[in-house]
């Protein structure tokens, strides 16, 4: 498979010197969905976090509905037809319905009520395994109770810049009769194209992160967002099909990437595990994970008119540089 890119050149007269200067912009095309992405020269668009997250955690803790003592009182419960217990627990993780639903079945799952402050370097494989396990159980329970709801995803808005409205770290699940735009686009990709893309990345090596067993990890060739990583789990197409071993493998890979993000100075991320209906032939369960701007007063959002309105990302962190940093955690 040929990974397609075009080089653009901008020319301008430099202020002060009056001399002509040129800069390059690389436009890359995602081999799976065709969306394009702009790789800009390094210009410090994603400064490292220098914000005192721990102090902010203390400020936001009083009255937090996900903290001990409040969670049982202030969060909703699942209808009995979905889960008789009202909430789904695994280890320290607890799942309940999202008070502000985005779909027919929307859930929130906290890593632990006690972990109001959870920097990325402290998100362990154990915490992730348990939290993912509640989401897998939720997807299974919803599909059993509502057979028309075949499209499941597990997602994260981690810290305010990513869209999270509550500080307390959590995952979010969606199970519905309708896919999101990206779920539909990915589910429409022919099986051979996933195989050819992964083969190309594995052979090229400059973005490929590793194979953790049944899951392959690579930095995106044409990222939607900074330091974007994608993963593909062969043999299953929905989060509802994740068994315990595969959940643990996914959690282990995610913890590696999040640890690398912390090393790179980032503390906010989005994640999506895009399910297609269970049993979809040739669709490997897809995951995408990327950094967001660091939290601080008057910060710059990494999501601009390009990302929001043109569906075209512009990043100044080359995917190959991100792959080098994140790859250290996979070797």
Q: Which two tokens stand for residue 28?
A: 């890359």
Hunting for tokens 């002060």 — which residue is that?
16
Asked if 175 and 65 count as a contact pair (C-beta separation under 8 A), the reply is no
Segment contacting Zn ion by CB under 5 A, of 109-117, 210-218, 261-269, 310-318: 109-117
Measure CA of the first residue to CA of the last residue in the chain; give whole Å. 26
From the CB of 189, what's the least distance to Zn ion, in Å?
39
Decide whether 116 or 256 has the Cβ nearer to Zn ion: 116
Segment contacting Zn ion by CB under 5 A, of 24-32, 111-119, 136-144, 199-207: 111-119
- Phi first, then psi: give them for residue 179, nearest 5 degrees: -75, 160
From the CB of 116, what's the least distance to Zn ion, in Å?
3
What is the pattern of x (binds Zn ion, CB under 5 A) and - over residues 271-310?
----------------------------------------
d(CA 104, CA 95): 16
Segment contacting Zn ion by CB under 5 A, of 20-28, 127-135, 164-172, 268-276: 164-172
From the CB of 76, what's the least distance to Zn ion, in Å?
16
Residues 6 or more apart in contact with residue 27 via CB below 8 angstroms: 5, 6, 7, 8, 36, 37, 38, 39
From the CB of 61, what's the least distance to Zn ion, in Å?
6
Is 111 a binder of Zn ion (CB under 5 A)? no
The DSSP secondary-structure symbol of 41 reads P
Segment contacting Zn ion by CB under 5 A, of 2-10, 162-170, 239-247, 275-283: 162-170
From the CB of 152, what's the least distance to Zn ion, in Å?
26
The DSSP secondary-structure symbol of 165 reads S
Q: Under rule CB under 5 A, which residues in 43-72 are in contact with Zn ion?
A: 64, 66-67
Identify the CA nearest to 249 among candidates 163, 330, 164: 330
Decide whether 19 or 73 has the Cβ nearer to Zn ion: 73
Residues 6 or more apart in contact with residue 91 via CB below 8 angstroms: 126, 127, 129, 130, 133
Select the residue interacting with Zn ion from 168, 230, 256, 329 (CB under 5 A): 168
Pairing of strands 313-315, 36-39: parallel
d(CA 202, CA 219): 11
Decide whether 9 or 59 has the Cβ nearer to Zn ion: 59
Q: Under rule CB under 5 A, which residues in 116-135 are in contact with Zn ion?
A: 116
Contact positions vs Zn ion (CB under 5 A): 64, 66-67, 116, 168
């Amino acid at each position: 498979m040929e990974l397609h890119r075009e080089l653009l050149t901008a020319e301008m007269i430099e202020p002060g010197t009056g001399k002509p200067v040129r800069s390059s912009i690389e436009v890359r095309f995602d081999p799976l969905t065709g969306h394009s992405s702009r790789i800009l020269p390094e210009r410090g668009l994603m400064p490292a976090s220098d914000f005192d997250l721990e102090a902010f955690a203390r400020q936001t803790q009083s009255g937090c509905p996900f903290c001990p003592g409040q969670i049982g009182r202030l969060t909703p419960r699942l209808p009995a037809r979905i889960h008789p217990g009202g909430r789904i627990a695994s280890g320290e993780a607890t799942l309940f319905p999202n008070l502000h639903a985005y779909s027919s079945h929307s859930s929130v799952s906290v890593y632990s009520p006690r972990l109001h402050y959870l920097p990325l370097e402290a998100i362990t494989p154990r915490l992730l395994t348990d939290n993912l396990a509640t989401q897998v159980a939720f997807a299974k329970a919803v599909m059993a109770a509502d057979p028309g709801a075949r499209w499941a995803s597990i997602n994260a808005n981690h810290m305010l810049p990513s869209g999270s409205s509550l500080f307390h770290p959590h995952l979010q699940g969606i199970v519905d009769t309708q896919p999101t735009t990206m779920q539909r686009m990915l589910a429409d990709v022919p099986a051979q194209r996933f195989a050819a893309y992964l083969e190309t990345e594995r052979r090229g090596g400059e973005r490929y992160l590793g194979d953790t067993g049944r899951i392959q990890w690579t930095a995106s060739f044409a990222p939607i967002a900074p330091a974007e990583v994608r993963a593909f789990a062969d043999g299953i197409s929905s989060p509802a099909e994740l068994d315990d071993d595969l959940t643990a493998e996914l959690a282990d890979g995610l913890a590696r990437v999040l640890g690398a993000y912390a090393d790179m100075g980032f503390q906010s991320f989005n994640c999506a595990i895009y399910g297609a209906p269970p049993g979809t032939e040739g669709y490997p369960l897809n995951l995408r994970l990327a950094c967001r701007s660091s939290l601080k007063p008057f910060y710059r959002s990494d999501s601009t008119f390009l990302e929001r309105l043109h569906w075209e990302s512009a990043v100044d962190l080359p995917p190959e540089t991100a792959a080098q940093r994140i790859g250290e955690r996979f070797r």
